[in-house]
C-alpha cells in the first residue's frame, strides 16, 4: 500500500522543473512514512484494547456489580457454626453447648429496598461511564490518526516547498550577479527559504509528537509508526450531521452516567431518611448440642434431651434515631446537589452541540474555499510554465516567477490541509457528542471497534 500526498501534489510533478535532489528527498520521506503502516480501523481496535481508562471503567462496572450483590444477598440467609468445650463451676449463665449452627437473614426492610434500587442505579451509571470512556478513546484515537496523517502530508509538502525555495535563492543569486535584481530581493528570498525550513522542522516535531501520542494510545512502538491514508473513512457530511441535529438527539453517555449517579444518591438518601417508623423483619434459626460434661442437668430439667433448636422472625420498629435522621438529611442535600450538577452538564452538552453545529458549516465553506484557491494556484502554475516555454510570448516569464508560482501553489495546499483537518475534527467531535460515533465506527467495513469489549 502506498502513501498519497493529495491530487494537487501529484499534478505538481507534471511540472518538470523541480530539482532531482528535491525529488529524492520526497521519495526518501515517502519511504519512511510508508513503513510500519497501521490502518484506521486497526488503530481504533488497538486503542480500545490498550486503554487504561477503559480497563478502569470495566473494573468500576465489576465493583458496582459486586455492590449490588451485597445489597441483594442480605436477603439470603447467612449460615455459621461454632463450638467448644470447657469446665464450669456452679450454675451457668448460658446453657453451654458443644457446637451451634446459626442462620439469619433480612426478610423485609424499606431502607434496604431503597439501597438495592440505589445499587442498580450505581451499576447503570458505571456501565454508562464505560460507554463514555470508550467513546472518548475512539474520538481521541480517530482525531490523532487524522492529525498524524495530516502532519505527514504537511511535512512532505514543506519538503517540496523548501526545495523550491532553495532553487529560488539560487536563481536570485544569479540575477543579482547579472544586476537584474537587488540584494534586498535576494535577502527576501533567503528569508523565505529559512522561514519554510523552520516550518519544516516544526512539522517534523509535530509528526513525532503526534506519532508518540498515537503509540501511547495503541500500545504500538512509535518507531516509524505511520498511517494508511486510503484506510481513513469519509466522515458524514455537514449536511447530514445538521439534518440529524434538527431531530431529537439522545444525551451522551457521560451525562446519562451523571444522571444515574445522582438518582442512586437520591435513592440512598431516601433509605437513610426513611429509617424511623419503618418496620424491618429479620429471620433467624439456631441449632445447638448441649454439653453433657458441665453438669447442666443438675440445674436444668433437660429430660435427657441435649438438643436445642429455635426458628422464627423478629420485627423491629425504630421510633427515634437523631443520628440517622441527620445523616439522611445530609444525604438528601448531597443528592439535590448532584441533580443540579446534572442540569449544568446538560447545559454544557447542548451548548457544545450548538457550537459544533454552527462551526461545521463554516469549516466546510473554509475547506471549499481552500480547494478553490489550490485549483486557481495550480492553474496559474501551469499557465506560468507554458508562458515560460513559449518562444513567441509577448510577455516572457522568468524562472523566478515560475518558482514563485510553485511556492504559492504549495502554500495554498498547506492551507487546504489545515482546513480539512479542522473540519474533520469538528465532525468527529459532533459525532461523539451526538452519540453517533460508536455506531459510525462500527458501520465501517471490516471494523468492529468496541464489540469485543462489550461481550
Q: Radius of gyration (Cα) for the chain, nearest Å?
A: 37
Give the residue from 117, 122, 116, 121 showing the smallest Cα distance to 72: 116
pLDDT in tens, the chain (455 residues): 334 444 434 333 333 333 333 443 344 444 444 446 889 999 999 999 999 999 999 999 999 999 999 999 999 999 999 988 877 777 777 778 889 999 999 999 988 999 999 999 999 999 999 999 999 999 999 999 999 999 999 999 999 999 989 998 988 898 888 888 888 988 998 999 999 999 999 999 999 999 999 999 999 988 878 899 998 888 877 667 656 656 677 888 999 999 999 999 999 998 888 888 889 999 999 999 888 877 777 777 777 788 889 999 999 998 888 888 888 888 889 999 999 999 999 999 889 888 888 888 899 899 999 999 999 988 888 877 777 666 555 556 678 888 888 888 889 999 999 999 999 999 999 888 888 888 888 877 764 444 443 33
314 Cβ neighbours under 8 A, 6+ residues apart: 281, 282, 284
Q: What is the pLDDT of residue 299?
A: 73
Give the residue from 74, 75, 68 showing the smallest Cα distance to 121: 68
For 200, left (φ over 0), alpha (ψ -120 to 50), or beta?
alpha
Q: What is the pLDDT of residue 20?
A: 36
What does DSSP say about strands 78-83 and 226-227: parallel, antiparallel, or unpaired? Answer: unpaired
Would you say residue 1 lies in a domain?
no
Q: What is the pLDDT of residue 405?
A: 85
Would you say residue 159 lies in a domain?
yes
Q: What is the pLDDT of residue 6?
A: 40
Whether residue 431 contacts residue 437, with contact meaning beta carbons closer than 8 Å, is answered with yes
Whether residue 106 contacts residue 112, with contact meaning beta carbons closer than 8 Å, is answered with yes
Whether residue 253 contacts residue 135, with contact meaning beta carbons closer than 8 Å, is answered with yes
Q: Please report where in the chains the cell 457544545 appears, as a residue.
A: 352
CATH code, domain with 29 = 1.20.1600.10
Would you say residue 402 lies in a domain?
yes
Would you say residue 371 lies in a domain?
yes
Would you say residue 112 lies in a domain?
yes
Q: Retrieve residue 77's grid coordinates.
A: 440467609
In whole angstroms, what is the distance from residue 197 CA to residue 161 CA?
9
Domain count, the chain: 1
3-state SS record for the chain? CCCCCCHHHHHHCCCCCCCHHHHHHHHHHHHHHCCCEECHHHHHHHHHHHCHHHHHHHHHHHHHHHHHHHHHHCCCCEEEEEECCCCCCCCCCCCCEEEEEEEEEEEEEHHHHHHHHHHHHHHHHHHHHHHHHHHHHHHHHHHHHHHHHHHHHHHHHHHHHHHHHHHHHHHHHHHHHCCCCCHHHHHHHHHHHHHHHHHHHHHHHHHHHHHHHHHHHHCCCCCCCEECHHHCCCCCCHHHHHHHHHCCCCCCHHHHHHHHHHHHHHHHHHHHHCCCCCCEEEEEEEEEEECCCCCHHHCCCCCCCCEEEEEEEEEECCCCCHHHHHHHHHHHHHHHHHHHHHHHHHHHHHHHHHHHHHHHHHHHHHHHHHHHHHHHHHHHHHHHHHHHHCCCCCCCCCHHHHHHHHHHHHHHHHHHHHHHHHHHHHHHHHHHHCCCHHHHHHCCCCCCCCHHHHC
Give the residue from 341, 330, 335, 333 showing the smallest Cα distance to 265: 335
What is the pTM assigned to this prediction?
A: 0.78
Q: Retrieve residue 4's grid coordinates.
A: 498519497
In whole angstroms, what is the distance from residue 60 CA to residue 123 CA?
9
Would you say residue 366 lies in a domain?
yes
Q: Retrieve residue 40's grid coordinates.
A: 484506521
Q: What is the pLDDT of residue 244?
A: 62
Q: Retrieve residue 443's grid coordinates.
A: 458501520
Would you say residue 2 lies in a domain?
no
Q: What is the pLDDT of residue 29?
A: 41
Would you say residue 372 lies in a domain?
yes
Give the residue from 116, 129, 124 showing the smallest Cα distance to 68: 116
What range does the domain containing 147 cover?
7-454
In whole angstroms, what is the distance from residue 116 CA to residue 73 CA?
10
Amino acid at each position: 500500500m502506498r502513501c498519497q500526498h493529495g491530487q494537487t501534489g501529484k499534478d505538481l510533478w507534471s511540472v518538470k522543473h523541480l530539482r532531482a535532489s528535491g525529488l529524492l528527498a520526497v521519495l526518501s520521506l515517502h519511504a519512511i512514512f510508508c513503513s510500519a503502516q497501521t490502518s484506521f480501523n486497526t488503530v481504533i481496535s488497538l486503542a480500545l484494547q490498550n486503554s487504561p481508562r477503559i480497563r478502569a471503567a470495566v473494573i468500576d462496572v465489576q465493583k458496582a456489580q459486586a455492590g449490588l450483590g451485597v445489597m441483594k444477598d442480605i436477603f439470603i440467609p447467612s449460615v455459621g457454626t461454632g463450638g467448644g468445650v470447657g469446665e464450669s463451676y456452679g450454675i451457668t449463665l448460658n446453657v453451654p453447648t458443644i457446637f451451634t449452627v446459626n442462620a439469619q437473614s433480612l426478610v423485609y426492610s424499606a431502607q434496604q429496598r431503597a439501597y438495592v434500587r440505589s445499587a442498580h442505579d450505581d451499576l447503570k451509571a458505571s456501565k454508562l461511564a464505560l460507554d463514555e470512556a470508550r467513546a472518548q478513546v475512539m474520538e481521541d484515537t480517530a482525531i490523532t490518526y487524522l492529525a498524524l496523517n495530516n502532519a505527514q502530508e504537511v511535512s512532505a509538502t514543506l519538503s517540496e516547498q523548501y526545495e523550491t525555495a532553495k532553487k529560488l535563492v539560487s536563481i536570485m543569486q544569479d540575477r543579482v550577479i547579472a544586476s537584474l535584481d537587488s540584494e534586498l530581493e535576494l535577502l527576501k528570498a533567503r528569508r523565505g527559504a529559512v522561514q519554510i525550513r523552520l516550518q519544516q522542522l516544526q512539522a517534523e516535531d509535530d509528526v513525532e509528537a503526534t506519532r508518540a501520542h498515537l503509540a501511547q494510545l495503541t500500545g504500538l512502538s512509535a518507531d516509524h509508526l505511520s498511517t494508511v491514508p486510503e484506510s481513513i473513512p469519509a466522515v458524514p457530511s455537514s449536511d447530514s450531521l445538521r439534518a440529524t441535529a434538527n431531530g431529537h438527539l439522545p444525551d451522551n453517555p457521560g451525562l446519562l452516567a451523571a444522571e444515574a449517579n445522582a438518582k442512586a444518591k437520591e435513592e440512598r438518601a431516601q433509605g437513610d431518611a426513611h429509617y424511623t417508623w419503618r418496620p424491618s423483619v429479620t429471620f433467624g434459626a439456631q441449632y445447638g448440642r448441649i454439653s453433657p460434661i458441665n453438669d447442666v442437668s443438675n440445674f436444668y430439667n433437660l429430660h435427657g434431651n441435649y438438643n436445642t433448636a429455635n426458628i422464627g422472625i423478629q420485627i423491629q420498629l425504630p421510633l427515634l434515631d437523631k443520628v440517622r435522621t441527620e445523616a439522611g438529611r445530609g444525604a438528601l442535600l448531597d443528592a439535590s446537589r448532584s441533580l443540579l450538577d446534572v442540569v449544568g452538564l446538560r447545559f454544557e452538552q447542548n451548548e457544545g452541540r450548538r457550537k459544533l453545529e454552527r462551526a461545521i458549516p463554516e469549516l466546510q465553506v473554509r475547506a471549499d474555499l481552500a480547494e478553490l484557491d489550490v485549483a486557481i494556484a495550480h492553474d496559474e502554475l501551469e499557465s506560468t510554465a507554458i508562458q515560460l516555454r513559449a518562444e513567441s510570448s509577448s510577455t516572457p516569464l522568468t524562472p523566478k516567477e515560475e518558482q514563485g508560482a510553485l511556492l504559492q501553489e504549495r502554500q495554498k495546499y498547506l492551507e487546504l490541509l489545515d482546513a480539512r483537518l479542522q473540519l474533520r475534527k469538528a465532525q468527529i467531535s459532533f459525532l461523539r457528542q451526538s452519540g453517533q460515533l460508536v455506531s459510525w465506527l462500527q458501520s465501517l467495513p471490516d471494523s468492529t471497534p468496541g464489540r469485543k469489549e462489550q461481550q
